[in-house]
Amino acid sequence: MTLREIIKHLDAEVLLDNNQLDRDIKYAFAADLMSDVLSIDASEIILITGLANPQVIRTAEMSDISSILFVRGKRVTPEMTRLAEESGIALLRCRHSMFKSCGELYVAGLRPVF
């Protein structure tokens, strides 16, 4: 599944695409604890989170995660956008809860990391 397809499934908003919209995504990982994110080892992944601060971008960068979906309509700051742009990370936002977002993407074919 591509980020473009994820956007359609969740009626998500693209905050920053970084030329990633046609990138293949096979796995999703949902977390608000960035220490949990640091423990995963997977490629072709999207991070789904309700945490909106610069540490999320830094954690994704350290974990080689190329796309982040912010749930519950979370606001992304200009600093976060700047960091993501520098790191080549795509940022998306949807209004759904984390639970609904994960469920919709699972039904659509994304697999969990664990």
Q: 31-65, pLDDT tens digit by residue? A: 999 999 999 987 899 999 999 999 999 999 999 99
Question: CATH number for the domain including 43?
Answer: 3.40.1390.20
Domain, as residue range, for 104:
3-112
Q: 73-101, pLDDT tens digit by residue? A: 999 999 999 999 999 999 999 999 999 99
Number of domains into which the chain is organized: 1
Check whether 10 has a pLDDT greater than 90: yes
Q: pTM for the full model? A: 0.96
Check whether 103 has a pLDDT greater than 90: yes
pLDDT at position 31 is 97
Long-range contacts at 56-64 (CB < 8 A, ≥ 24 apart): 56/80, 57/83, 57/84, 57/87, 57/89, 58/83, 59/34, 60/84, 60/87, 60/89, 61/87, 61/89, 62/38, 63/37, 63/38
